Amino acid sequence: MRFSKVGWIKIRYHRPLPEHTTTKEATFKKERTGEWYVTFSLETDDTDLPEKPALESLDTSNSVGIDLGIQNYIHTSDGKTVDWLDLDDEYERLRREQRKLSRKEHGSQNYKKQRRTVAKAKRKIRRTVLDYQHKLTTWLAKEYDAIFVEDLNVAGMLQDDRNARNKQDAAWRQFITLLEYKGNLYGTHVVQVEPEGTTKECAKCGGETLKRIWMREHSCPACGFETDRDANAAMNVLQRGFFELGQGWPESTPVETVTATDTAQFESMSASHVIETGTPNP
């Protein structure tokens, strides 16, 4: 391809450019690994995107609330949990390469070469998380007509406690951005709701119960409703999502039918299952 002020450059496409699109700009970027990438910004006709379902057709059977959890990557209001990615091997490799880098003479050719190796180890972690999120958000967008998720202050959360590495691995803001993108791509409503109080409030009666971070069960002293802590939060997210859309909570569907109160009945999905059964990278 020929670029202004640069000339002709041979490039290798990650995938063919879609038809019926207009290329608006190209951005060049040099990675720390020493490799160059070019990213194309395309303009497409929005009429090609599928229409989202009518709001009146939404109910708890085709909608889901998502709690971005600590023990699980996500916990849904209909009783599904998805595990965290196992990145222990990747982090061990990164630490090993970083130790090698610390032993190199700063500024030497060996130092520069090892720094690129460290950059590749970091890139592998970043790409593994992104690949996982692409496949998870694709599954969610195809599975439901409406998805409700917390509007989290991720930057503040990374500063609040010592669990920053796990939260960075989660890349929740990136996850939410991808979820919104997939919602437009597959015709799914994606709505962010106020996150404050979703853990403390009882999904059945609305009463508040203070929970420490290590308390994993929700037990309401007011109405006796018991379930998993994250499941309760996901149900609150689901309810807030309906109110955010101006629909109100469907009274014909009591909270007990949204998910099982027995945590043993929750359907657990491993991270490897999501990767193996997911669609190829979009």
Task: Give the residue numbers annotated as catalytic, written as ranges.
Answer: 67, 150, 230
Q: What share of the chain is helix, strand, coil (3-state, %, to 5)?
A: 40, 20, 40
Which residue do the tokens 């910004």 mark?
Answer: 41
Q: Calculate the CA dihedral of residues 60, 230, 255, 151 and round it to 10 degrees.
A: -50
218, 209 in Cβ contact below 8 A? yes
Lookup: tokens for 226: 């018991």
Lookup: tokens for 180: 């919104």
What are the E-state strand segments in 157-196? Answer: 189-193
Q: Give the H or E element holding residue 65.
A: strand 63-68
CB atoms within 10 A of CB 119: 16
